[in-house]
A and B are shown apart, each in its own frame.
With several copies, the nearest count.
Chain A
Amino acid sequence: MEDKFTIAKRIALELKNGDLVNLGIGIPTIVADYIDPEKRITLQCENGIIGVGPVSETISDLVNAGGISSTIHPGGSFIDSAVSFGLIRGGHVDVTVLGALEVDEEGSLASWIVPGKRVPGMGGAMDLVTGSKKVIIAMSHTNKGQPKILHKCRLPLTGYRKVGLIVTEMAVIEVKSDGLHLVEVHPAYSIEDVVKATEATLIIDHVNVMKGVES
């Protein structure tokens, strides 16, 4: 599956010098591997780390928000959960990247419960989408062929009107007040492919080739 690397690489381009960024588990975690080393980006983990580094082979007392042994960058610091979520809810986190089960035309997302089936819980996701300055969804465009970008989320919401950008292996979609704008398409797909794989109405005016994709 090359797809997740395509998504992670594209999202890394969105991060700006000086940004404080929270990366969720799954595809978002891989974004770290593609960050331009020229940019000073600080990664935050909601369990209480500012400046978390790569995961570590050896088991340690320092774990990331996925519970995996990790490291801390020079200049990093440890904080408690109240301070951590103060930063998150207080708008001090510039970008949050997280996965989703569904996203819709209003920029709402669902990610924490499939009633009667799977209930992982919302963890820090509801606070992250509420408080972060920009929310980027990193996910596969479809799930077993079924669209995940919908007119309206069917699953219980994680956040109402919180998403700013959706990045999939097929496309980059910007959420604006008038709806979803298809702004970039991966060269392996046509605009029609994207439209077919999407239930939501896409606004299509200026579509570019997906940035960061070497042809």
Chain B
Amino acid sequence: MKAFIKKAEFKQFLKDGITIMIGGFLSNGAPERLIDAILETDVKDLTIICNDGGFETSGSGKLIVAGRVKHLIASHIGTNPTVGTLMQEGKMKVTLVPQGTLVEQIRADGAGLGGVLTPTGLSTMVETGKQIIEVKGIRYLLEEPLHADMALIGGAVADQYGNLRYIKSMRNFNPIMATAADIVIVDPREIVDTIDPEQVITSYPLIDYILEVEN
């Protein structure tokens, strides 16, 4: 972990057209303060990798509603009607990925794998354009790694070293996304002194910056 930062410092990392992973599941565990900080800038043409399209007033949904997203890679977009509208109007590209495949693609990147072979999506539209690999006579889809310029992590309790544990169901995609981006920034709920070594979920070498928590 490099440093605890303020919103203003975070904004300096932003650029038009970058790819950002956003943790959370239907906004549960989403890094809301970092998303709000993006909205305070003019940054646009983002590619967002997130489990879902969030809601119109929370999670990745806020960026979509504000027209900052060029391409959304997600497993589910049903909770944010704006996603469907922008998609139909051709104003935003949407790539739908099975949820288990999405998280495994992110993990593959973070773990230095060239891809994983999954049975999910075989004989469906998901197959389109992908390599099919046979192992012991069974067919699998080759799903390639997903990498981001930046991962925004929420739902966490951080310690002074930058270690994280996660609160309840807010864990979801967060610890996996923390492995697969050039810069990893955390929006924690709370900052404590230390986390027990057996209870750390994301170890500090994976984290670059932590947004300060104002009291």
Contacts and interface: CB of A to CB of B under 8 A. Distances in A.
Chain B contact patch, size range? 35 or more
A63 B30 CA distance: 13
Interface in B129-145: none
23 contacts: A42-B204, A47-B25, A48-B171, A60-B168, A61-B28, A67-B27, A72-B168, A75-B159, A75-B160, A77-B195, A80-B103, A80-B172, A80-B173, A86-B112, A87-B179, A87-B206, A88-B100, A89-B111, A91-B112, A113-B96, A122-B98, A123-B78, A160-B123
B122 A160 contact: yes
Interface stretch (A4-12, A125-133, A167-175): A125-133
A145 interface: no
A89 B112 contact: yes
Contacts of B43: none
A51 B197 CA distance: 10
Contacts of B87: 119
Interface string A106-140: 00000011000011111111110011000000000
A18 interface: yes
Interface string B44-62: 0000000110000000000
A75 B169 contact: no
Contact of B110 (A46, A47, A90, A121): A90
Interface of A: 18, 20, 42, 44-51, 60-67, 70, 72, 74-82, 84-92, 112-113, 118-127, 130-131, 156-161
B198 interface: yes
B205 A127 contact: no
B192 interface: no
A64 B172 CA distance: 11
B172 A121 contact: no
Given A49-B169, A90-B111, A119-B77, A127 B28 contact: no
Contacts of B163: 75, 77
B31 to A, nearest CB: 14
Instruction: Rank and list the top 9 A-B pairs by shortest CB-CB distance, nearest first.
Output: A85-B100, A120-B78, A89-B112, A75-B161, A127-B100, A86-B111, A67-B26, A160-B123, A77-B200
A151 B185 CA distance: 45
B96 A122 contact: yes
B100 A89 contact: yes
Contacts of B173: 80-81
Given A89-B111, A90-B111, A81 B123 contact: no
A42 B172 contact: no
Contact of A127 (B110, B120, B159, B201): B120
B169 A85 contact: no
B194 interface: yes
Contacts of B84: 118-119
B207 to A, nearest CB: 11
A107 to B, nearest CB: 12
Contacts of B103: 80-82, 85
Interface in B28-43: 28-29
A46 to B, nearest CB: 7
Contact of A159 (B26, B74, B124, B205): B124
Given A79-B171, A123-B52, A126-B121, 12 more contacts: A20-B205, A61-B28, A80-B176, A86-B111, A89-B100, A92-B179, A119-B78, A123-B78, A126-B101, A130-B121, A131-B120, A160-B123
